[in-house]
């Protein structure tokens, strides 16, 4: 009954927030761009010299987001948009009167927009203010593309085909972009799309946009856009099928086990079939994920499993339809559970995926759907039987930017498990989420209820939660609650903790100095985090935090944090996770820590971030520091080094520890098609040194040759553990 009353309260509060809110009307928005068709294709050379560009409607009124919100941009930007039967064309002239070179992080695609001089277009074909696309280039024509989900979340690992070119002149740089309509997802016959144009003038520490974006919101946000009106609505573009075959070979040797070298070859294919312009079918046969970037290791001082993000391309397009249910620590579906098995220290082993299919996209203007089915092979060596994974979802838009979402997850064993295996025959879950977002994003939040089904488990097999945020320029207030039953079992999800209640309110007050102050903002935040057992009787964790953050206009920042922590150990735990004596269960612990973080001007060729914390830690003390230094050899690459040290002192008989995590990284861009990266990681908590070197040749859009070399060593004597070499070739073929 307690659960029902809490959910009733928040849904009632939501109804008052949304009272009077209706679907946005694109017919009379304040920022409108009319786009007209052309008969001749545009040559994409970075020069806006074709007569068609002169006939297109121009928009040149850009407004600052930072540093002076609402003021006109100090440098002029002119944008024009056209289209033909195949492409959406965007042309821009970005004037630049400031002496000095443009700031370019590297020649490698998918750069960080905030750390480059760059131009971007953000497009929302569905007019839901939540889902769309972002395409960006910097002055050296390095590309960045991303899916936009939940209004402001950028999935930059998404790849697709589009074309661009730039030219740099003494007083400006010009850009031409051609986006195939087959790359986009849209509803046929729609007369208007959301659109905004973004400019990051990092040299002058200024961000500006055509449709203004408030300073307290993310710069790339689909809630703050204008509209482009089509003279002739876009129709289906004919067959839209892409085939992506691959060939791969590898050789590996486990020196630690003393086994012989092993070689393997594989081939497979992905296919992308557009059922409609807004509904896509993805197919995969014998997928290969050997080119996945190595995970950055973490020092694990937590009592629960660490999270490592999904990096595999097949699972990424429209990933929010499958992955964004619940909260960050209560995910009913986590695609990394398919084909990759991880332990609590983040070490992974592969379980081959035989084939899979995924249908995802829009059905009509207000309904998104997703259906995924994946089949894995059995692995007798790991004791894992074959598994079938099915996920079905829907997202129904309501009001202006809110939605009602549903999810169903099923894992089913498809062959007889090996003797002694503990894997149940099935695991199932159903759930419903309500995502709240008002038109101006002043209010947003999420409310969910999920229920799992597993053999031999009954009672308390549910989880629910609510979060609600009120966000204005000077004040942000946030509420969150979670409850996970002791038998809630989301095997294909990410739920590291069971049998608890959590409440976590916080508030932040912001000051934006005026009058030319070198300081951009002051932020004061108070945060409270409370965990109790599932009966809401026993307090198991409590944290009170005060945070002060100061940001300068030159991109540097200073952050001060003080917090007081209470922990009740309901199972024995070694705080160093090094195998030492464990603090017994039923122990109460309280301690206080304080820390400071400084980040230097990221525009400089040499920049750094330094953090230091000291204070109590369980029944002892902990001194923590982390330094990260970066040197940018513009535009050819970056040399970076992070070093993290934890010195933990505990009283006898408990183990003290000096834990090191060191990671030098070298990234070299020979051209905008040839890249080499080397990442070295030393982690004495895992007693491992890892070296990962990856060469990439992008010889054609979304077509790559990868060569990946990996070694693992024992730190104490540098004896080799394992060694592997992978060669992978993929090719994107449009039919």
Asked if residue 622 is part of any domain, the answer here is: no
Structural domain count of the chain: 1
The pLDDT assigned to 422 comes to 64
Residue 37 included in any domain: yes
Q: For position 158, what pLDDT does the model report?
A: 84
Task: State the CATH number of the domain containing residue 72.
Answer: 2.60.40.1190
**Model confidence at 470: pLDDT above 50:** yes
Cβ-count burial 271-303 (b if 16+ within 10 Å, e if not): bbbbeebbbbbbbbebbbbbbbebbebbbbbeb
> Is 698 a domain residue?
no
Give domain status of residue 160, yes or no. yes
Asked if pLDDT for residue 343 goes beyond 70, the answer is no
Question: Which pLDDT score is estimated for 187?
Answer: 85
Going by pLDDT thresholds of 50, 70 and 90, the confidence category of residue 597 is very high
* Domain of 165, in residue numbers: 21-230
Q: Is the pLDDT of residue 425 over 70?
A: yes
- What pLDDT is stored for residue 561 in this prediction? 97
pLDDT of residue 710: 93
**Residue at 35 is within a domain:** yes
Grade residue 604 by pLDDT with cuts at 50, 70 and 90.
very high
Catalogue the E-assigned strands of 650-702. Answer: 657-669, 674-683, 688-700
Residue 7 has pLDDT above 60, yes or no: no
Residue 30 has pLDDT above 70, yes or no: yes
Q: How many CB atoms lie within 10 A of CB 2?
A: 10
Closest to 684 in 3D by CA, of 705, 660, 666, 664: 660
Does pLDDT of 568 surpass 60? yes
Integer-rounded Cα radius of gyration of the chain: 26
Judged against a pLDDT cut of 50, whether residue 1 lies above it is answered with no
- Cross-strand partners of 7: none
pLDDT at 516: 83
pLDDT score of 458:
84
Using 50, 70 and 90 to split pLDDT, how confident is the model at 239? confident
Q: Where are the beta strands (DSSP E) in 573-673?
A: 587-599, 606-617, 620-633, 637-649, 657-669
Contact 89, 177 (CB under 8 A): yes
Model confidence pLDDT, tens digit, residues 685-709? 889 999 999 999 999 988 999 999 9
Give the pLDDT confidence score for residue 188 in this predicted structure.
85
pLDDT band at 345 (very low <50, low <70, confident <90, very high): very low
**Residue bearing the bigger pLDDT, 500 or 293:** 500
Contacts of 637 (CB under 8 A, 6+ apart): 106, 107, 666, 667, 668, 669
Q: Output DSSP code: residue 335.
A: G
Is the pLDDT assigned to residue 347 strictly greater than 70?
no
Tell me: pLDDT of 96 over 70. yes
Would you state the pLDDT for residue 291? 47
Is residue 335 within 8 A of residue 322, CB to CB? The reply is: yes
| Cβ burial, residue 474 (10 Å; 0-12/13-18/19+) | exposed
Q: In this structure, is residue 29 part of a structural domain?
A: yes
Give the residue among 492, 497, 435 at the shortest CA–CA distance from 463: 497
pLDDT at 419: 53
**Res. 25: pLDDT tops 50:** no
The fraction of the chain above a pLDDT of 90, given in percent, is: 69
What's residue 320's pLDDT? 83
Q: Is 702 exposed, middle or buried (0-12, 13-18, 19+ CB in 10 A)?
A: middle
What number is the average pLDDT over the span 15-28?
48
Asked whether residue 533 carries a pLDDT value surpassing 60, the answer given is yes
Determine, yes or no, domain membership for 273.
no
* Residue 6 parent element (H or E): helix 2-17
Q: 657: which residues sit within 8 A by CB, 6+ positions away?
A: 576, 578, 580, 646, 647, 648, 685
**281 occurs within a structural domain:** no
Q: How far is CA 28 from CA 25, 151, 210, 229, 728, in A?
A: 7, 21, 17, 11, 51
């Amino acid at each position: 009954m307690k659960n029902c009353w809490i959910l009733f309260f928040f849904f009632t509060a939501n109804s008052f927030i949304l009272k009077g809110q209706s679907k946005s009307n694109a017919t009379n928005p304040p920022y409108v761009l009319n786009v007209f068709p052309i008969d001749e294709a545009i040559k994409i050379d970075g020069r806006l010299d074709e007569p068609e560009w002169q006939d297109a409607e121009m928009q040149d009124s850009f407004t600052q987001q930072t540093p002076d919100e609402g003021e006109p941009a100090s440098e002029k930007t002119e944008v024009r948009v056209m289209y033909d039967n195949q492409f959406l064309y965007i042309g821009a002239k970005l004037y630049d009167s400031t002496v000095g070179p443009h700031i370019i992080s590297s020649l490698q695609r998918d750069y960080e927009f905030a750390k480059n001089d760059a131009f971007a277009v953000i497009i929302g074909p569905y007019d839901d203010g939540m889902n769309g696309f972002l395409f960006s280039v910097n002055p050296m024509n390095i590309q960045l593309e991303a899916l936009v989900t939940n209004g402001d979340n950028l999935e930059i690992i998404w790849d697709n085909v589009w074309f661009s070119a730039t030219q740099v002149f003494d007083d400006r740089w010009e850009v031409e972009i051609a986006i195939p309509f087959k790359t986009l997802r849209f509803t046929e016959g729609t007369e208007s799309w959301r659109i905004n144009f973004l400019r990051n003038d990092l040299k002058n520490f200024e961000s500006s946009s055509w449709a203004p974006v408030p300073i307290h919101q993310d710069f790339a946000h689909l809630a703050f856009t204008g509209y482009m009106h089509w003279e002739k609505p876009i129709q289906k573009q004919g067959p839209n099928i892409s085939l992506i075959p691959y060939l791969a070979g590898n050789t590996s040797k486990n020196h630690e086990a003393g086994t012989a070298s092993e070689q393997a070859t594989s081939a497979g294919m992905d296919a992308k079939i557009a059922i409609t312009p807004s509904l896509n079918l993805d197919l995969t046969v014998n997928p290969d994920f050997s080119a996945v970037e190595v995970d950055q290791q973490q020092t694990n001082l937590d009592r629960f499993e660490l999270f490592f993000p999904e990096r595999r391309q097949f699972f990424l397009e429209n990933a929010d339809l499958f992955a964004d249910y619940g909260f960050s620590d209560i995910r009913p579906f986590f695609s990394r559970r398919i084909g990759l098995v991880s332990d609590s220290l983040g070490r992974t082993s592969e379980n081959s995926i035989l084939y899979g299919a995924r249908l995802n996209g829009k059905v009509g203007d207000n309904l998104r759907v997703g259906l995924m089915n994946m089949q894995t092979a059995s692995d007798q060596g790991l004791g894992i039987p074959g598994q079938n994974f099915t996920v079905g979802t829907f997202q129904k838009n309501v009001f202006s930017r809110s939605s009602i979402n549903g999810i169903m997850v099923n894992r089913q064993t498809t062959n007889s498990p090996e003797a002694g295996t503990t894997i149940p025959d099935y695991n199932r879950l159903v759930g419903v989420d309500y995502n709240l977002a008002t038109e101006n994003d002043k209010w947003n939040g999420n409310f969910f209820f999920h229920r799992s089904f597993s053999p031999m488990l009954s009672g308390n097999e549910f989880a629910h939660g609510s979060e609600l945020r009120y966000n204005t320029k000077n004040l942000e207030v946030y509420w969150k609650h979670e409850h996970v039953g002791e038998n809630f079992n989301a095997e294909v999800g990410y739920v590291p903790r069971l049998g608890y209640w959590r409440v976590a309110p916080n508030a932040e007050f912001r000051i934006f100095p005026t009058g030319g102050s070198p300081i951009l903002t002051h932020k004061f935040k108070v945060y409270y985090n409370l965990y109790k057992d599932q009966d809401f009787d026993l307090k198991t964790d409590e944290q009170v935090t005060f945070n002060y953050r100061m940001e300068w206009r030159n991109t540097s920042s200073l952050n001060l944090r003080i917090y007081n922590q209470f922990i009740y150990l309901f199972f024995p735990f070694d705080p160093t996770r090094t195998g030492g004596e464990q603090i017994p269960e039923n122990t109460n612990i309280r301690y206080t820590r304080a820390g400071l973080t400084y980040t230097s001007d990221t525009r400089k060729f040499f920049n750094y971030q330094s953090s230091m914390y000291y204070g109590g830690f369980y029944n002892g003390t902990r001194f923590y520091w982390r330094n990260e230094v970066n040197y940018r050899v513009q535009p050819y690459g970056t040399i970076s080094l992070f070093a993290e040290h934890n010195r933990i002192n505990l009283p006898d008989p408990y183990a003290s520890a000096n834990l090191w995590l060191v990671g030098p990284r070298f990234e070299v861009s020979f051209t905008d098609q040839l890249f080499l990266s080397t990442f070295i990681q030393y982690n004495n908590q895992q007693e491992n040194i890892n070296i990962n070197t990856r060469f990439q040749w992008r010889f054609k859009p979304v077509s790559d040759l990868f060569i990946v070399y990996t070694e693992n060593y024992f730190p104490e004597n540098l004896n080799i553990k394992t060694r592997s070499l992978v060669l992978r070739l993929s090719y994107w073929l449009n039919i």
